A and B are shown apart, each in its own frame.
Chain A
Amino acid sequence: MMRFEQLQELWQSELQPEPPAMAVESRGMAAALRRFRRRQYVINGIKLMVIAGLAWFLLSRLGLSMLMVLGLGLFLAGLLTAVATDWRIQSAIARLDFARPSAEFLDATLERLRDANAPFQRAGWMAIAMIAAGANLIFAGPWANQTLGSSIAFHTAVTVLPFAAFGFGLKVRAKRYAMEYKPLVERLAAMKAALEERAP
């Protein structure tokens, strides 16, 4: 039977093939990282532009009564809160600190991955409530002269729609999470348990 020191010597004597040339191309790596970050900025930038466009459209079409300005403010604040919360979580996942000791690294990674599954929690529902309230205020003016029945139906739809869209979004996210992250989370949790299992 070989002793461990012999195994160590054998292991260290092994020559490895040269890595692919691109691995040493640090400029290429920096460019890849910049591309990844740029893509995140582009996606979130588009969301912000859509919000700004929506604000401009509503302002230019609906006029500027106090009620509408207040509604628009609430609506935009709700949208911005939702986008900012999501952006913060994406950035946290993109900025894992690989130089930490593994036990701490696994903790932080698991926490961030779990956050990705329930990104909004209370803040998300509050943001949606703000969007719904804002939309109701925005449309309170244009619908003032309608019949009571149609007005109630419209405002019910305006209130329910953001919550329904949010609920649907959460379901889609949960499915994506189960496909993309859940196996990884389970594996990391098992590794963490193995790393920290009590010595006899």
Chain B
Amino acid sequence: MTYRERERLFVRLFEQSRAGVRRLCYSYLSSASEVDDLFQEIMTNVWKSLPSFRGEANLSTWVYRIAVNTALIHRRRRRPSEELPDMPDHRVSTHRDLERQQQLEALHRAIAQLGDQDRLIVSLLLEGLNYKEIADVTGITVNYVGVKISRIKQALEQLMTEVSNDAV
């Protein structure tokens, strides 16, 4: 792979995956500044790993692998329970937007209460990856991904109810 090809592929990957990767960072970390650091670190690792990309995996799955592994060894400056995610500053214009924003905040609060692994797995599921793709990213079997996800879904739905009740 020449430098030009590498750069072109990187820019393409960056454009395709930045929203998903940043959402994954938000589900894993506790503040916006840390998300920027982790995102930067993930993209650095994507750039660094590009020459070894052989095309065996789907490109987006490959990027998620790097994102998840980078997140796993990323050192957080604070404990996860100390601070809840700084949500992006959206301009809320309508009642519907406000409601949606509250639901999103509740979802983030609920995800923040899950364990590290579960948070990453549920983010991949919320991003729309199927069981096989999640198994490819995490290295566990498809069956076990199914078991884990059904547990996480239950936990998340219960947490969402608790978080919504707390908000009321």
Contacts and interface: CB of A to CB of B under 8 A. Distances in A.
Chain A complexes with chain B: yes
Interface of A: 1-2, 4, 7-8, 10-17, 19-20, 22-24, 26, 29-30, 32-33, 96-106, 109, 184, 187-188, 191, 194-196, 199-200
Contacts of B136: 101
B157 A4 contact: yes
B72 A102 contact: yes
B161 A105 contact: no
A24 B88 CA distance: 20
Nearest to A13: B100
A11 B107 contact: yes
B147 A30 contact: no
A99 B10 contact: no
Q: Which 10 A-B pairs have the closest CB atoms?
A: A101-B139, A103-B139, A11-B126, A16-B22, A199-B147, A98-B66, A98-B45, A102-B138, A105-B69, A98-B69
A4 B88 CA distance: 23
A98 B65 contact: yes
Interface of B is mostly: helix
Interface residues of B, number: 61
B130 interface: no
Contacts of B32: 17
Contact of B11 (A12, A13, A24, A200): A24
A16 B139 contact: no
Contacts of B57: 99
Given A29-B43, A32-B44, A98-B45, A7 B75 contact: no
A96 B41 CA distance: 13
A29 B43 CA distance: 9
Contacts of B157: 1-2, 4
A102 B125 CA distance: 16
A26 B161 contact: no
A7 B137 contact: no
Given A19-B36, A29-B44, A7 B23 contact: no
A191 B90 contact: no
A103 B88 contact: no
A184 B75 contact: yes
Given A14-B104, A99-B62, A105-B65, 8 more contacts: A17-B32, A19-B43, A20-B40, A23-B14, A23-B36, A102-B138, A194-B118, A200-B147
B22 A2 contact: no
